[in-house]
A and B are shown apart, each in its own frame.
Chain A
Amino acid sequence: MNFSEVFKQSNQLCKVSPDEKYLATCVQYRVVVRDAATLQILHLYTCLDQISHMEWSSDSQFVLCAMYKRGLVQVWSLEQPNWHCKIDEGSIGLVSSCWSPDARHILNTTEFNLRITVWSLCTKAVSYIKYPKACQKGLDFSRDGSYMALAERRDCKDYISIFVCDDWHLLKHFETETQDLAGVEWSSNGCVLAVWESCLEYKMLLYSLDGRLLSTYSAYEWSLGIKSVSWSPSSQFLAIGSYDEKVRILNHITWKKIAQFEHPSTINNTKAVVYKEVERRPAVSEDLSIPNICMSSTLFSTQSKYETSPVPIHLPVVKPDPERANPKIGISSLAFSSDSRYLATKNDSMPSVVWVWDMQQMSSAAVLEQTAPVRCFQWDPRQPRLALCTGNAKLFLWSPAGCVAVQVPAEGGFQVQSLNWYSSGDSLILLGKDQLCLCYMETQQDQQ
């Protein structure tokens, strides 16, 4: 495992192009495009204001930079560095901006969710979509980029519009059986749309592409409901994390619950391997030789390693404040591995614990107990390998073979706040507060 040197970045904006040739990072006003392999600077673009959002187009030809404060979007081309495009949303404001899957349209959501403006880079044409709903996830493109589902709110009722991304033709428009829709998400094959109710009620609706209601699922009533939703890459499972600290798995045939994963604070299950991160300060007195002193960053930082301990294990639990809204409890994030074999979850009342579930055994495979709250975790896009960070100078990796903690040898108090895999799974971008570092995994070729 190798690490690059540290680069500057701002707003944690650092993205690899989908073809993995370029690495774009934003530093204040500038966009720096590097060669993803050599990290040599290829292009440097200067925007009009501090960049708040940056996105690659699907064909890796363009970089979209949004400046929400100014209501501006600037697009840069890699093939033609002279080419430029500037979209001004005017005084109506801008809250989010994104590419359409065809890389020729830009969708801008205006302030107060007044409308979504669709700008065409081909014809300079502009079209509006009215009444978009301001919610958790109101807009979703299908995986193959042919359809877009949009949650709408008209006359105090929830609707869903399905557009054909090709020519923004409204394919279907239907009302949903929700009081207050919170999000929409396409299944991986793009045939089923999961629609869920806001947290006040546990309700999951599954719609077909043609607008038919396939199934409705509700686990319980009255208490706070769904917190997070994730489709498996095989479209076989729909995992629903809820405020009752459980994950429920629905199958794709009957849309009934086939498994329920609980997140207890005491683990008695002997099947699950519990990895506990143990910090150990290295003894300073041992050898203060010159190379050691030079590597000051590693000398004075704590070393971590994982230990497995026998059951029963008590995990640290943070009691949520019942007086405050959005209580810190329930499954806030869940993610399937690329082969749909494993599911990683995080319960907000145990912020330093990540659970890994085996989808074949339908049981807990591993529990990672970190010393600090987990900031981010992400699966390797190629193999069942989970990377996570806890806001310190360490990178943690889990795979079915075991668990490892790696010290990031970067200087200047580099703390990993977030991470991103390359789609090849060879490298990992580690994002600090205003720095970034690349981590190169050992590949088969390297080993040979």
Chain B
Amino acid sequence: MGDWWTSVPKETSIGNYEISHLMMSPSKQNNIMSMYSSLGLSKTSYNFISAFCTEDNVPQCISYVNQELDSLGLESCIELSAAGNTGLSSVPALNAFYELLQIHRQDMTTVEELERDQLKRSSTLEHVQISNSRLKDQLELSMREKSGMHETERQLQLKIKTLQSCLKTEKEEVQKLQNIIASRATQYNHDTKRKERETAKLKERLSQLLVDRKDRKLSIDVLNCLGRADGKRSHWKTAKATASHEEDMYKFLLSDYEASQRSLMLENAELKKVLQQMKKEMIHILSPRQMSKGASTDNSQEQGDSDTEARAGDSGRESLDKSCELAREQLTNSIRQQWRKVRSHMERLDSQASQNQEDVILRQTHNDEMEKMRQEVLQCKEFIQTQQQLLQQQLHTSFDDDTAALLNDCYTLEEKERLKEEWKLFEEQKRNFERERKNFTEAAIRLERDKQAFQEDRASWLKNQFLNMTPFTDRRRGSSSDGGQSSLSIRSEPELRMSSTSIHLPKSSTYSTNFSTPKPAPRSAVPTTTELYRTLRLIPDTSSRQSSRGRWQESSTIEDGNNQTKTKIRSRYEEISIFSLGEENSLT
């Protein structure tokens, strides 16, 4: 059996498959059980449907299976080994089983495929259905639109019809009115004519009546008749007279026409002269260019042209006197030709010029123009400045006028603002100076006081020394108060130095900084700042300054150790004095 399987050609197996495929559909219908053979189901079914094969009906089962297999086109591989023997030959059965499994798997795959196919189909179907419905909607919409359009069209048609009828009636109306007008006009004309005739008749009658009436005849009352203005006698009205009048009239007319003709002739001649001149100049302009252009293709033709033109020109010149029509035509024609040429030439030149224009302007004139413009701008600026100056001068001088004041206001407002700011700044500076000066004076006062104390100390110290040197030293040393004094004097020296340096320091820095002056001594004995102020103010006087110097010098002679610092302070004072002097000057 295994050999057979292997020996079975592929075609047949395929054919079998095909058959099996074909058979599938009836089998599906026939026994649903087999169709239900999904794995899970089959298991369960196998478990439950155990009634198919029992110990008793094995051969029947086998035969049934065989039959079934036969019907499936498979080899009835399961054979009954013997009638009595109920054993099942396992190999073919397994083969059949395998075969069946294979078939089943294939079926399953095909089913799957089909299902997938089905799914796809259904989705496409759905899609198609959706699109179909959409299209249907669209169709409906367009149908509706169409109907709407139809409706509007119908309405418009109706409108047109009504309008047409309206127009017709209007036209009729117009016609009618025109007719009315025309009839009225004719009637009016007729009436006016009638009236005129009547008035004419009336006039006639009136004049007749007036002539007939005797009461107030028209009359002329002249003292004596005048002679004619020209001194001649009046003539009889004769045919000869009328003829002579006509003759006069025609003579008059003729003379007028002659005059006008003469003027026209003159004008004409002048115009012709101008034309000739123009033509000559044109030829003059065009001919050299044509010569240079001789190499061009239409040389011969142009040459011919110019020849004819020259001839025409000659004939034209002749025709000036003749004023024959043909000559005139020739002249105008040649002029026209020349003119055309000139025009084309001009156009060409124009186009060339437009091409060349840009760089030409850039190179040559641009810089010059720029320079010129700059100069102009400068001039203008100067001019404006001088104008402004003049204006301001004028404004300053003419304060009495209101407008001038107004102008002045608006002009100096800014300046005022600026001045105010400056003033503020100046005030602040002044305040600073004042404060500084106060500080200085205070410092000076303190210094003075310190100095005094120091000198007192010194004096006491010297006294002590002197006393120590004296035989009463022991007694003096014993007193505690003296020792305290000496210690104080010793201590005061570095203090003073410190203060001097501290004074010295801020001088290098700004004025506004606070001095680290030594703590003021008891205030009671101190002169007021104002007093010192006064003394300092007096510094500008040479005598006082000298005196102060003298004083300083005196002090320096007294104290050499503090000399340096003192001179420094002095110089500082001098500065202040100078400043105060300056201030006084400014104030006065």
Contact = CB atoms under 8 A, between A and B. Distances in A.
A189 interface: yes
Interface stretch (A79-87, A412-420, A432-440): A79-87
Interface string B191-232: 011001101100100110010010111111111111111100
B246 interface: yes
B223 A82 contact: yes
Contacts of A311: none
A124 interface: yes
Interface in A187-202: 189-191
Nearest to B255: A191
A92 interface: yes
A72 to B, nearest CB: 10
B253 A191 contact: yes
A171 B245 contact: yes
B237 interface: yes
A18 B223 CA distance: 25
Interface string A143-182: 0001000000111100000001011010100000000000
A129 interface: no
Interface stretch (A19-27, A114-122, A324-332, A378-386): A114-122
B443 to A, nearest CB: 72
Contacts of B207: 92, 114-115
Given A90-B217, A171-B245, A124 B222 contact: yes
A49 interface: no
Nearest to B218: A90
Nearest to A144: B252
B264 interface: yes
Interface string B126-138: 0000000000000
A171 B249 contact: yes
Contacts of B10: none
B250 A122 contact: no
A61 B223 CA distance: 15
A121 B245 contact: no
Contacts of B237: 167, 169
B413 interface: no
Interface string B223-261: 111111110001101000110011011101100100010
Given A91-B213, A156-B197, A121 B256 contact: no
A12 B218 CA distance: 28
Interface in B171-200: 192-193, 196-197, 199-200
Contact of B228 (A85, A122, A190): A122
A123 B225 contact: yes
A167 B241 CA distance: 10
Nearest to A121: B226
A123 B234 contact: yes
Given A91-B210, A112-B206, A169-B242, A102 B229 contact: yes
Most chain A CB atoms below 10 A, which of B219, B226, B250: B226
Contacts of A210: 249-250, 253
A104 B234 CA distance: 11
Contacts of B252: 146, 190-191, 209
A145 to B, nearest CB: 10
A103 B224 CA distance: 15
Contacts of A166: 245
Contacts of B226: 104, 121-122
A90 B206 CA distance: 13
Contact of A167 (B216, B221, B234): B234
Given A171-B245, A209-B252, A89 B218 contact: yes
A87 B249 contact: no
B229 A169 contact: no
A209 B218 contact: no
Contacts of B223: 82-85
Given A209-B253, A253-B264, A124 B225 contact: yes
Nearest to B267: A253
B514 to A, nearest CB: 69
B225 A167 contact: no
A251 to B, nearest CB: 12
A210 B251 CA distance: 11
A126 interface: yes
A92 to B, nearest CB: 5
Given A89-B218, A90-B217, A121-B226, A169 B249 contact: no
Contacts of B246: 171
Most chain A CB atoms below 10 A, which of B206, B216, B220: B220
Nearest to A192: B256
Contacts of A5: none
Contacts of A123: 225, 234
A208 interface: yes
Most chain B CB atoms below 10 A, which of A119, A122, A210: A122
B215 A169 contact: no
Contact of A85 (B216, B222, B227): B222
Contacts of B199: 112
A92 B234 CA distance: 29
Contacts of A121: 222, 225-226
A122 B221 contact: no
A88 interface: yes
A104 B256 CA distance: 28
Contacts of A83: 223-224
A169 B228 contact: no
Nearest to B195: A156
A166 B260 CA distance: 26
Nearest to A212: B253
A59 interface: yes
Contacts of B229: 59, 102-104
B216 A169 contact: no
Contact of A164 (B219, B222, B227, B245): B245
Contact of B219 (A82, A87, A189): A87
A122 B218 contact: no
A49 to B, nearest CB: 15
Contacts of A59: 229
B196 A208 contact: no
A208 B221 contact: no
A74 to B, nearest CB: 10
A104 B227 CA distance: 8
A103 to B, nearest CB: 6
A83 B210 CA distance: 29
Nearest to B215: A91
A112 B250 CA distance: 35
Given A103-B229, A114-B206, A208-B253, A90 B216 contact: yes
Contacts of A117: 218
Contact of B210 (A84, A90, A252): A90
A154 B203 CA distance: 12
Contacts of A164: 245, 248-249
Interface in A99-133: 102-104, 112, 114-115, 117, 119, 121-124, 126, 131
A439 B356 CA distance: 66
Interface string B249-287: 110110010001000100000000000000000000000
Contacts of A122: 225-228, 234
A131 B204 CA distance: 10
A85 B241 contact: no
Contacts of A91: 210, 213, 215-216
Nearest to B227: A122
A80 to B, nearest CB: 8
Contact of B221 (A85, A89, A112): A85
A142 B516 CA distance: 123
Given A156-B193, A167-B241, A124 B220 contact: yes
15 contacts: A83-B224, A88-B218, A90-B219, A92-B206, A104-B228, A121-B222, A122-B227, A124-B222, A131-B200, A155-B197, A156-B193, A167-B235, A169-B242, A189-B256, A209-B253
Question: 7 smallest A-B Cβ distances: which pairs?
Answer: A90-B218, A86-B221, A156-B193, A191-B256, A85-B222, A92-B210, A121-B226
Given A123-B234, A167-B237, 7 more contacts: A88-B217, A91-B210, A92-B207, A102-B228, A104-B228, A121-B225, A156-B197
